[in-house]
Amino acid sequence: MEAINSFVSTINGFVWGPVMLFLLFGTHVFLTVRTRFIQRHVFKAIKLSITPDDEAEGDVSGFGALATALAATIGTGNIVGVATAVALGGPGAIFWCWLTGLFGIATKYGEALLAIKYRVKDKTGSMIGGPMYALERGLGQKWLGVLFAVFAGVACFGIGNMTQANSISTMVRDNFGLDTRITGIIITVATALVILGGVKSIAKVCEKLVPLMAGLYILGCVIILVINAPYIGSAFKLIVGNAFSGTAAGGGFAGATVMMAIRFGIARGLFTNEAGLGSAPIADAAAMTRNPVRQALIAMSGVFWDTIIVCALTGLVLTTSILKNPEGMAGLNGGALTSAAFNHIPVVGPIVLTIGLITFAWSTILGWSYYGERSWVYLVGTKAVKPFRFAWVVVVFIGSITALDLVWNIADTLNAMMAFPNLVALLGLSSVIVSETKKFLWDDNMEGWSTDEIPTVDR
């Protein structure tokens, strides 16, 4: 087993290596230029996200689709992942993580637009969309759509299910002494009650859960920054300066080169906001929207909240905390580093962090259940829905009581491989992204209706 795990880890290191980082970040920059820096419309996007489009066709509201995507996106990577980037790449990694999010907004916009543009209805009348349909209907490359669906349909059980369930049960055991089996039963039942109702039920829960969990975590970060206020100016200087000069060892920070800051910052940024991986557009395809651009703008606001706000706050909290207490924070990594920072809030701090991690992980289970289900519907039709939901619930319990490094590595590898066909769709259909953007946004026709017919597939 160790030999297999080592082999998979080697493959994982390759697929998440420089080639993937270059392709993803390069696509971010390319689409930013093609869409005339679509990021400047982010506040319009936020306004649209809370403006219902009830007359439009779809399964859930635009905000419901955004909340579902954010539920799957905002996870432990925003907390533990950023801490790992700071520990290995120095404070300069935060700058590159933030920059990745800034450019990633354009990619998230593009993939959501294509998901709406090429979505279809299944036999029950439910909307289905995502990279697989953009590849099949837009580029005529069904085989690539099948590849994406296979990667997503398998990866979801690891990265979106078992690993998340295990992190919840382990955290509850370590903090409250509760047996992992009891925690497993609780989250299994809770998950079943939500996902058996389909995307409408998932969206309804996520609409309430995501603002609550993100708001609580952000409040905790703000309180810590108020406590660490004298160090905020120095933290900004370190973050920007070390992004281009590297970090000398000492003062609570490990030594890191500029290349290490770039590598770990970009990798964590790409991993946390998932822009370019193709998962979030599956949720966006279910949205009630009158045209593709409207929901694409709403979708791109998710990267703003995920990386520009949550990850940036986490990075600033970590850096100011290290500057304030270099001896106490030295040598810490990942969750231990974040925990030490939240200990600045007496009694309440660790509780806020624990609740944040638990809700982030559970929301990821809910969001990824929909991604996986839609992928299997693409592959074998609507007959896959009930077996998939049953399997998903069972795997939640298995993950709660079993830690499998091999499962994590395989899922992480497949997660990266999802990006390749998705990037083909984004680059190959970039002219469609531009033409739709011109039709509805640049020509000031945001209230216009799309004339695209939504076909029904016999699946």
Q: Which residues contact 363 (CB under 8 A, 6 or more apart)?
A: 70, 71, 72, 74, 75, 206, 209, 210, 213
- The confidence band for 404, taking pLDDT boundaries of 50, 70 and 90, is low
Q: 121 near 289, Cβ under 8 Å?
A: no
Pick the more confident residue, 77 or 345.
345
Query: In order of start, what are the domains of the chain with their CATH numbers?
Result: 9-442 (1.10.4160)
Q: In the predicted model, is pLDDT for residue 335 greater than 70?
A: no
Pick the more confident residue, 261 or 60.
60
Between CA 226 and CA 376 the distance in angstroms is 47
What average pLDDT does the chain have?
86
209-225 pLDDT per residue, tens: 888 888 888 888 899 99
Mean pLDDT (whole number) for 279-289: 92
User: Using alpha carbons only, what angle is made at residue 152 by residues 58 and 167, rounded to the nearest 5 degrees?
Assistant: 100
Q: 390 near 157, Cβ under 8 Å?
A: no
Query: What's residue 436's pLDDT?
Result: 97
Structure token digits, residue 162: 């078992």
Between CA 351 and CA 220 the distance in angstroms is 10
Q: What is the 3-state secondary structure (H, E, C) of 6-17?
A: HHHHHHHHHHCC
- The confidence band for 408, taking pLDDT boundaries of 50, 70 and 90, is low
72-109 pLDDT per residue, tens: 877 666 677 787 778 778 888 889 888 889 999 999 99
Gyration radius of the chain's alpha carbons: 21
Q: In the predicted model, is pLDDT for residue 309 greater than 80?
A: yes
235-250 pLDDT per residue, tens: 999 898 888 887 766 6
Query: What's residue 2's pLDDT?
Result: 66
Query: What's residue 77's pLDDT?
Result: 65
414-441 pLDDT per residue, tens: 777 888 999 999 999 999 999 999 999 9
Side chain identity, residue 44: K
Q: In the predicted model, is pLDDT for residue 412 greater than 80?
A: no
Between CA 25 and CA 32 the distance in angstroms is 11
Q: In the predicted model, is pLDDT for residue 252 greater than 70?
A: no
DSSP one-letter string for 219-267: HHHHHHHHHTGGGHHHHHHHHHHHHHH-B-SBTTB--B-HHHHHHHHHH
Query: What's residue 27's pLDDT?
Result: 95
- The confidence band for 144, taking pLDDT boundaries of 50, 70 and 90, is very high
